[in-house]
A and B are shown apart, each in its own frame.
Chain A
Amino acid sequence: MTLAELKRGQNAIITDVSSKKIPLKLLEMGCLPGNSVELVQVAPFSDPMYLNINGTHLAIRKETAIHILIETNDA
């Protein structure tokens, strides 16, 4: 599943990041395969998404989140 489908408060592990669609800056902030991600808060219409990636708190838009693949811990 993609990061865009994560629910508020849920945790997951990033499995793949489409390097063509995702800018280097986001990777440098820790959005890399193997790192953990938690959805902290969402704005109305679930967009943008306020995330905790590997201890770094940042917000990205849903249109970016669909290019990040994840695996939830409970699956």
Chain B
Amino acid sequence: MPKQINVALIGNPNTGKTSVFNALTGLNQKVGNYPGITVEKKEGVCKLPRGVKAHIIDLPGTYSLNASSLDESVVIELLLNKNDKDYPDVAVVITDVENLKRNLLIYTQIKDLEIPTILVINMSDRMAYKGISLDIEKLEAQLDTKIALISTRKKQGVDNLKDLISNYQNLSIEPCLSTQDIDIDYFKGLKKAFPNQSLYKLWLVITQDVNFGKISRNTIKDTSSFKTKKDSDLKRLQQKETIKRYQFINNVLKEGQTIDLKTAKDLRIKLDRILTHKVWGYLIFGIILLTIFQAIYDWSSVPMDFIDNAFASLSDWTKNTLPAGAFTNLLAEGIISGLGGIVIFIPQIAFLFLFIAVLEESGYMSRVVFLMDRIMRRFGLSGKSVVPLISGTACAIPAIMATRNIESWKERLITILVTPFTTCSARLPVYLIIISLVIPEGRFFGLSYQALTLMLLYLIGFGAAVGSAWILNKILKIKSRKFFVVEMPNYKLPLFKNVALTVLEKTKSFIFGAGKIILAISIVLWFLASYGPGTEFNNAEEIVTEQYASNNLSQIELEQKIASHKLEHSFIGIAGHAIEPAIRPLGYDWKIGIAIVSSFAAREVFVGTLATIYSVGSDQEATIKNRMAAEVNPILGGPLFNLASGISLLLFYAFAMQCMSTLAIVKRETNSWKWPILQLTIMTAIAYIVALIAYQFLK
């Protein structure tokens, strides 16, 4: 017996597959990507009885082996490739006791691949409530396998499942359905042409266009002894296959399952009567959205201020404690300031992912899709675009990946193109710091001006997304199959463990993903700001001392003058001055120019960059905000960040496409450079024009 066995978890969406995965692996899990694609790969390790270790892989949720999306193809590609290092020794199919009939469809398909398959019937705690009783022995006999009846909510049956997994070698690998029965003549021909292969696997190769060992769809097409069929005929055979599978399942359940409708209670009907109601449904959705936004700003401001101050003092402490020198400066001014600019995100991102996870887990998100579909369609979007647009308020990258379940290519493409307009959390630090600088404190009907400004910026983001979708819908001439189907799952109380793990995982991957870029940029910026060419930079001390010789400056003031002279003539200062003519009409000076240029890599760099630049410039004021407030406009005098330049900056960041990672994801998801380049140019042009108008108008 091998020391470690491979176990694949397979099942429909909404069957609690992830809960089973979490119950088996606990914190011994990691999330990565399948090589070359952005499909999430979840794997973990579980200790089984008798010293066996299981490597568990949680495959993307799928309704059947007939893949209709990238995520679903991952499942079939793995299951057809015996040489894959993850190829399962045993498959575990997870089903929901309330949807057994539909969930069993994929079980019959996996069983037909001749892989040992254990059936998990999850959510057994709901059986009494729904009046369901099962005859497990009969079901095991009919389905020719072992069944684990479990409840991840009540933590029952997981040990039994572990036992079954460790005894996987005793399971039968007989198929449920004889593939030949679908169309006898056709499959006889296929058998003759490929006598040594499993008919069902060949059938999947023909219909799914996947590779199976050395056999691909084209090898089958080019085989002279076998004639395949037209696509429409193949589809009819697939329909026939599905009907045959359901006939099998119906016979199995007739014997093994009884449902007493009299004792069944249905919370779903009562909740849906309100939550999907024509009036109440929308009202409740609106209230939920407002609560989310309100909560995020109120709750996260405290930890955020704390983090901001903590990093400012850490930077000071480093400077005062370590021996002076280039390395200490790099650490204090480059790395620590840069890191502070990203750690500050953690509270807000965690809260956003928390809300999104709860909405998804509870089953409410599908109701939103249902409610919004008709409205979103007017703008060329789908009801399913609501999920990416809401998750886009956390980060556009997972949001764009969440468009994969939109069936129509045109609706999906438009969603991908407009999602970056929604106010992602990377814009927040920029917004928060500028709002606190330029928007006066004060209240309007109990709401602070600053909160209202922030809300307005969110509305502008959504408005831009929806408005540009409407235009794109008119312009883009793409014919794609229009189609929409969404499962309306049962309402569930979200499991704390699932939500907590999701929040932890997403926050971690965001921080580390973005963190690398920010850290790298911070270090580069620090070098560019600390070194410069020519005499102006290298002889700054003498030049400034001479220039102010008659002014009787104190030592501190003189040092400041030298520092800012140095900065102005450093590499970054030269670059900033070079672009100043282009951004002066928007109300920015060369320092903001540098911050904007560097935030084309990622928006959140803005605050970090200003922090780096200003901490190079002076060390009088502790926090970033105080330093920015102290900045003086070199030409007009007065504070640099005033209402006009502040609003102009806010609008620039609202519209501009400043995120390399998003562009990379768009490239990958649309498989072309055309769309990300178009996105970058148009969004930046809009940003420039709007900011220009705003500044000239308010100045």
Contacts and interface: CB of A to CB of B under 8 A. Distances in A.
A58 B272 CA distance: 13
B378 to A, nearest CB: 11
Nearest to A17: B239
A19 B236 contact: yes
Contacts of A19: 235-236, 239
B243 A58 contact: no
Contacts of A50: 272, 276, 370, 488
Given A23-B483, A41-B272, A45-B374, A55 B102 contact: yes
Contacts of B370: 41, 43, 48, 50, 59
A1 interface: no
A64 B382 CA distance: 14
Nearest to A25: B68
A55 B246 CA distance: 13
Interface string A2-30: 00000000000000010110011111111
A55 B66 CA distance: 22
B239 A59 contact: no
B489 interface: yes
Contacts of A48: 370, 373-374, 383, 484, 486
Contact of A57 (B235, B373, B489): B489
B371 A23 contact: no
Given A27-B242, A43-B278, A58 B486 contact: yes
Contacts of A32: 242-243, 246
B374 A44 contact: yes
A15 B243 CA distance: 13
B485 A26 contact: yes
Nearest to A43: B374
B101 A55 contact: yes
A28 B662 CA distance: 34
A1 B596 CA distance: 61
Contacts of A57: 268, 487-490
Give the residue among A24, A28, A40 with the most B Cβ atoms within 10 A: A28
A24 B101 contact: no
A68 B276 CA distance: 24
A43 B371 contact: yes
Interface in B645-698: none
A74 interface: no
Given A43-B276, A43-B370, A28 B242 contact: yes
A54 interface: yes
Nearest to B240: A19
Contacts of B374: 43-45, 47-48
B375 to A, nearest CB: 8
Given A28-B242, A30-B102, A56-B102, A23 B68 contact: yes
A18 to B, nearest CB: 11
A9 B284 CA distance: 23
Contact of A41 (B98, B102, B239, B276): B276
Contacts of B63: 25, 28-29
Nearest to B407: A23
B486 A27 contact: no
B214 interface: no
Contacts of B66: 24-25, 28
B243 A59 contact: no
Contact of A64 (B105, B483, B490): B483
B99 interface: yes
A32 B482 CA distance: 20
Contact of B485 (A40, A45, A59): A59
Interface in B192-225: none
A45 B64 CA distance: 32
Nearest to A54: B101
Contacts of B276: 41, 43, 50
A52 to B, nearest CB: 9
Interface in B20-78: 63-64, 66, 68
B554 interface: no
Nearest to B273: A41
A38 to B, nearest CB: 11
Interface string B74-112: 000000000000000000000000110110010000000
Given A23-B68, A32-B243, A43 B373 contact: yes
Contacts of A61: 373, 482, 484
Give the residue among B63, B98, B482 with the most A Cβ atoms within 10 A: B63
A19 B243 CA distance: 12
A65 B346 CA distance: 45
A52 B481 CA distance: 24
Contacts of A64: 483-485
B328 interface: no
A51 B98 CA distance: 16
Nearest to B269: A40
Nearest to A27: B242
A55 B268 CA distance: 13
B485 A56 contact: no
11 contacts: A24-B64, A25-B485, A29-B485, A43-B276, A47-B374, A48-B383, A54-B102, A58-B485, A59-B485, A59-B488, A64-B484
Interface of A: 17, 19-20, 23-30, 32-33, 40-41, 43-45, 47-48, 50, 54-61, 63-64
Given A27-B239, A30-B101, 6 more contacts: A24-B64, A24-B235, A25-B66, A29-B487, A50-B488, A61-B482
Closest 9 A-B residue pairs measured CB to CB?
A57-B488, A28-B64, A59-B370, A61-B484, A41-B276, A56-B102, A59-B486, A48-B373, A58-B487
